[in-house]
Structure 1
Amino acid sequence: MKVADIAPFFATLKAANPQPNTELEYTNVFELLAAVLLSAQATDVGVNKATRRLFAIANTPQKMLDLGLEAVTDHIKTIGLFRTKAKNLMETCRILVTQHAGRVPRTREALEALPGVGRKTANVVLNVAFGEATMAVDTHIFRVGNRTGLATGKTPLEVELKLLRRVPAEYMVDAHHWLILHGRYVCQARRPLCEQCLVLRYCDSAPRELLARQATP
């Protein structure tokens, strides 16, 4: 993607969705952290179904610990890798209580030290909860970055670093939401819905015949 096309690319996405946000349901920072931790290799819809009941009775690290591993495991058993995730969540809660006074830390280093929390999860929490200009590269962003030419790379980290360099500052805080939603609903993996794409004109992979058709008055 040409540098000159990047700003209008994001301006178009912003015009269609001025205030994008995560589709994970949460009411506090801990719930957000827990939901993102549980969302690895799972859909937001599936995570939300499980966490609605769980967060209703355990919406703090201490309440989650009080609930116990067996009960937590039972609540999230519909989510992929639920046993491992339950153990990670419980250990994360223990660390939050013993080392952070029950609060979610605001630094990348402290977040990534929590079990089950990698760079992507830390980026989501830093961005959504604390408003930092981070780029959480999931499968959708990785695909959109490579397919459009916005940020090509062989690894999520490579794509992330390119996006941090190429996305204009005024769009950075919301950029990962626009890219995720675009990948989830339009620029899909098996068959991208190019005929519905608002930013087709800026895409390196846009079908020529479709571009020609759109350009015809």
Structure 2
Amino acid sequence: MTGQPESVRSYQRVFRPDRRIYSIDGKPLPVPGGVPLRWLAYATGTLIASIAVPAATTTVAMFGAAVALAAGLAVGGRAAAIVAAGVVFAGVEALAFVVGALDWPLRLVILPAAVATLATQKTPDGRSAERFAVSWIALRLAPRRRSLGRSLLVAGRGHSVAADVWFAPDEHSPTLRRGRVKGPSVVRFAAPVEEINRRRPGKRTVRRLGWHRRRGGVTSKVTLGTGEVMEVRP
């Protein structure tokens, strides 16, 4: 603990502080603030990778490409999976060439310590290095927009769809439309209509109000009995 103020970029550093090793068998380590367990994990992983990648380059590259292919299929689809697998395979081959060209002190001591120190100290967006890397890769592999599990087009690019779209008006239409209703039912209109008086039993006709001569009464509700038919004329 130090008395100097330190900026807190994420509440994870408050509720999930780093676990550190300060001493071994009662003997304090000559490292101010101790050695974080995450540092040891990064250093061990880098050491194993620096040994395994040059020794079995093709096997590690194929395994990494398979993992990238599965992750790409889960995140961004077939195209993203193929791109991710190719990038990982080529990256592992290039990394194996570079690491294999280093002398053993650089490869087995300096490189693990440098990677562990950088990954421990850098916390983009207040997250650990591995969580930020996974989120960044998933964001780059995923399409910009998705709907029903499928990627959509980029904004601003036209796309023609050869399909027929059928639509039909309902009772919420602002205009009176032609139709036929068979009773028993109660029909209500949003605006008053004219019910035409006809002598034919069982058939009733309504039409919208206008400048024409009225042939019936004005109403907003028509009650139909069993078997009666109402015809709506705009």
User: Is the TM-score greater than 0.5?
Assistant: no
Q: TM-score, with normalisation over the residues of structure 2?
A: 0.28
Q: TM-score, with normalisation over the residues of structure 1?
A: 0.30
* Structure having the larger proportion of residues in helix: 1
Larger-Rg structure: 2
Which structure carries more relative contact order (alpha carbon 8 Å, separation 6+)?
Answer: 1
* Structure having the larger proportion of residues in strand: 2
